[in-house]
């Protein structure tokens, strides 16, 4: 156990790297998700097809293959990426492809009447999407997007394989210098568990915050409060 | 020339061998996950003191930690306590246990989807507990579970590449080994990606079909 205390600063740095990779990857994932998700719903084939090919390719191959491809194969085209860039790019694009399907599903499950009403009011397609359709789809998107984010967080451990010094990478380093295998691996298991639990809590809070019937619920509760007081 | 065609052709047999190992891991892993997941789901549902909460915590903990770190734990920690298997067996067991936690949730949703009336009818007929599970509840639960199990099968096929980190020689590890020995990474990695896609894309189309066929009819 003493090894853990001695090497705590190293683990701390690894934790910060893991969190940074998760935030950068998560940001990229959201951008990719909305870009590819809405592109797949476009009425133009030129927009729809590339998005579909992107999503199916990134969902159909493993993340680790993509990460190694960005890191080891791109140099053959003269593009040398920093390990961190390759890792974040692979994470963001891979999880973004999964999230794009979530975005597409949530948007296409909106009632047709909403779009028709927008058209009747003379809104442009972009305005329709930005002001009406996407805000309405957010509550339906949140739970599955939360799952994608937890997956992304757990998959940040793979960046250690392309030499990014994250939590898993540091743990391997400490393991090979001290030989405290059990203690170190149990420690990072718990650290990852705490991180993903916090992320799950954050998603649950966002879900409550953006629940569609929030207003309806509060009115109902108010009525109940009033009736509790006594006969009006 | 960036892409060397004859080199690419020469490594295909090796990569196919790797793909076969990946498929074996997936099938064996799915078998473990499907069986253990069912046990976990039923144990949680039975609400046995101590045992059920432990099963619940197990599921949550496994779902909250990365597969890679779990694989490292099994590969590096267990031998210290005299439990040691070869990399392939360790890999299959780890990925099987990892997915059993996800499958347990799938089974749970399937079991919860069985109407309460079915339980009540079984009680009214005073069927024994074991028969209620095996003949009434689980067969109905499986109907909704099958396509979701298919999705996890495909997911596991792709995730098994992570096991290359604990020296399981599957498709990804083969591609990497070819890359490091020939100093050409482009062909093996691209072909590995294409092989993954060639299996998982048609498989996901089949699962989509199953989903439509097994969808509960209302």
pLDDT of amino acid A231 = 44
CA atoms of B76 and A175, how far apart (whole Å): 10
Residue to mutate among A151, A157, A167, A188, with most B CBs inside 10 A, is A157
Considering chain B, what is the average pLDDT of its residues? 91
Q: How far is CA A194 from CA A112, A189, B86, in A?
A: 41, 9, 31
Q: Does B179 touch chain A if contact means CB atoms closer than 8 Å? A: yes
Nearest C-alpha neighbor of A58 from the set A67, A49, A46: A67
Q: Which of A63, A77, A185 faces B72 most closely, judged by CB atoms?
A: A185
Q: Which of B63, B65, B196 faces A65 most closely, judged by CB atoms?
A: B196
pLDDT tens track for B164-214 = 999 999 999 999 999 999 988 999 999 999 999 999 999 999 988 888 887
pLDDT above 60 for B128: yes
Residue A67: which CATH number?
1.10.3720.10
Residues (pLDDT < 70) of chain A are: 1, 212-232
pLDDT of amino acid A112 = 87
pLDDT of amino acid A230 = 44
Q: Does B161 touch chain A if contact means CB atoms closer than 8 Å? A: yes
Instruction: Report the gap between the CA of A227 and the closest CA in chain B (Å).
Output: 33
CB pairs A-B closer than 8 Å: 108
Instruction: Report the gap between the CA of B136 and the closest CA in chain A (Å).
Output: 31
Q: Which of B66, B159, B189 faces A73 most closely, judged by CB atoms?
A: B189
Contact between residue B123 and residue B133 where contact means Cβ atoms under 8 Å apart: no
- Name the architecture of domain B5-214: Orthogonal Bundle (1.10)
pLDDT tens track for A163-181 = 999 999 999 999 998 888 8
pLDDT above 90 for B93: yes
Contact between residue B66 and residue A155 where contact means Cβ atoms under 8 Å apart: yes
pLDDT of amino acid B60 = 94
Q: Are B161 and A65 inside 8 Å of each other by CB?
A: yes
Domain that holds residue A132: 2-229
Q: Which residue of B has its CA nearest to A176?
A: B76
Residue to mutate among A65, A144, A154, with most B CBs inside 10 A, is A65
Q: Which residues on chain A are in Cβ contact (under 8 Å) with B2?
A: 76-77
Query: Quick one: three-class SS letters along chain B?
Result: CCCCHHHHHHHHHHHHHHHHHHHHHHHHHHHHHHHHHHHHHHHHHHCCCCHHHHHHHHHHHHHCCCHHHHHHHHHHHHHHHCCCCCHHHHHHHHHHHHHHHHHHHHHHHHHHCCCHHHHHHHHHCCCCHHHHHHHHHHHHHHHHHHHHHHHHHHHHHHHHHHHHHHCCCCHHHHHHHHHHHHCCCHHHHHHHHHHHHHHHHHHHHHHHHHHHHHCCCC
Q: Which residue of B has its CA nearest to A75?
A: B186
Q: Which residue of A has its CA nearest to B163?
A: A64
Contacts of B40-46 spanning 24+ positions with Cβ under 8 A: B40/B100, B40/B101, B40/B103, B40/B104, B40/B107, B41/B103, B41/B104, B41/B105, B41/B107, B41/B108, B41/B111, B42/B107, B42/B111, B42/B133, B44/B104, B44/B108, B45/B108, B45/B111
CA atoms of A82 and B78, how far apart (whole Å): 35
Q: Are B158 and A182 inside 8 Å of each other by CB?
A: no
pLDDT above 90 for B149: no
CA atoms of B163 and B153, how far apart (whole Å): 16
Q: Which residues on chain A are in Cβ contact (under 8 Å) with B162?
A: 62, 64, 158
Nearest C-alpha neighbor of A50 from the set A113, A100, A108: A100
pLDDT above 60 for B153: yes
* Burial grade of A180 (CB within 10 A; 0-12, 13-18, 19 or more): middle
Q: Which of A57, A77, A193 faces B65 most closely, judged by CB atoms?
A: A193
pLDDT of amino acid B212 = 82
pLDDT above 60 for B135: yes
Contact between residue B96 and residue B28 where contact means Cβ atoms under 8 Å apart: yes
Work out how many domains chain A is built from and give that number: 1
pLDDT of amino acid B145 = 84
Q: How far is CA A67 from CA A70, A183, B6, in A?
A: 5, 29, 25
Token duo for residue A196: 């993903």
Contact between residue B86 and residue B114 where contact means Cβ atoms under 8 Å apart: no
Section B36-47 average pLDDT: 92
Contacts of A38-47 spanning 24+ positions with Cβ under 8 A: A38/A103, A38/A104, A38/A107, A38/A129, A40/A100, A40/A104, A41/A104, A41/A107, A41/A108
* All residues at 6 or more sequence positions from A50 whose CB lies less than 8 Å from its CB, including other chains: A39
A181-209 vs A134-155: helix axis angle to the nearest 10?
180
Q: Which residues on chain B are in Cβ contact (under 8 Å) with A75?
A: 185
Q: Are A157 and B69 inside 8 Å of each other by CB?
A: yes
Q: Which residues on chain A are in Cβ contact (under 8 Å) with B69?
A: 157, 168, 171, 185, 188-189, 192
């Amino acid at each position: 156990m003493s090894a853990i205390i001695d090497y705590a600063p190293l683990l701390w740095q690894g934790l910060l790297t893991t969190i940074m990779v998760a935030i950068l990857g998560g940001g990229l994932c959201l951008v990719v998700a909305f870009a590819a998700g809405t592109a797949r719903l476009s009425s133009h084939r030129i927009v729809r097809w590339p998005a579909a090919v992107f999503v199916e390719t990134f969902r159909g191959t493993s993340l680790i293959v993509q990460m190694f491809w960005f890191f080891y194969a791109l140099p053959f085209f003269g593009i040398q990426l920093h390990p961190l860039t390759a890792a974040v790019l692979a994470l963001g694009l891979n999880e973004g492809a999964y999230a794009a399907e979530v975005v597409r599903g949530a948007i296409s499950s909106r009632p047709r009447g909403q779009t028709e009403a927008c058209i009747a009011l003379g809104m442009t397609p972009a305005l329709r999407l930005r002001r009406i359709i996407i805000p309405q789809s957010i509550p339906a998107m949140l739970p599955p997007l939360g799952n994608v984010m937890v997956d992304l967080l757990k998959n940040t451990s793979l960046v250690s394989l392309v030499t990014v010094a994250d939590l898993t990478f540091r743990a391997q380093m400490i393991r090979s210098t001290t030989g405290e295998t059990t203690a170190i691996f149990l420690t990072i298991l718990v650290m990852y568990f705490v991180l993903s639990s916090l992320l799950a809590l954050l998603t649950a809070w966002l879900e409550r915050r953006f629940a569609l019937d929030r207003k309806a619920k509060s009115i109902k509760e108010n009525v109940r409060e009033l009736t509790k007081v006594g006969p009006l | 020339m960036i892409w060397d065609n004859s080199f690419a052709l020469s490594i295909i047999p090796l990569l196919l061998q790797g793909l076969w190992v990946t498929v074996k891991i997936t099938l064996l892993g799915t078998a473990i996950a499907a069986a253990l997941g069912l046990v976990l789901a039923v144990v949680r549902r039975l609400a046995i003191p101590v045992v059920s909460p432990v099963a619940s915590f197990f599921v949550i903990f496994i779902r909250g930690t990365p597969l890679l770190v779990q694989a490292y734990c099994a590969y590096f920690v267990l031998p210290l306590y005299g439990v040691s298997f070869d990399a392939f067996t360790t890999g299959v067991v780890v990925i099987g246990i990892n997915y059993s936690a996800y499958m347990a949730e799938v089974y749970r949703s399937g079991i919860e989807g069985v109407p309460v009336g079915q339980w009540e009818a079984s009680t009214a007929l005073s069927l024994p507990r074991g028969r209620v599970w095996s003949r009434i509840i689980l067969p109905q639960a499986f109907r909704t579970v099958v396509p979701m199990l298919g999705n996890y099968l495909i997911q596991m096929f792709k995730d098994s590449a992570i096991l290359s980190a604990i020296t399981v020689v599957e498709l990804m590890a083969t591609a990497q080994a070819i890359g490091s020995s020939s100093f050409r990474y482009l062909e093996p990695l691209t072909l590995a990606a294409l092989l993954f896609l060639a299996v998982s894309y048609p498989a996901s189309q089949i699962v989509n079909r199953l989903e439509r066929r097994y969808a509960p009819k209302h």
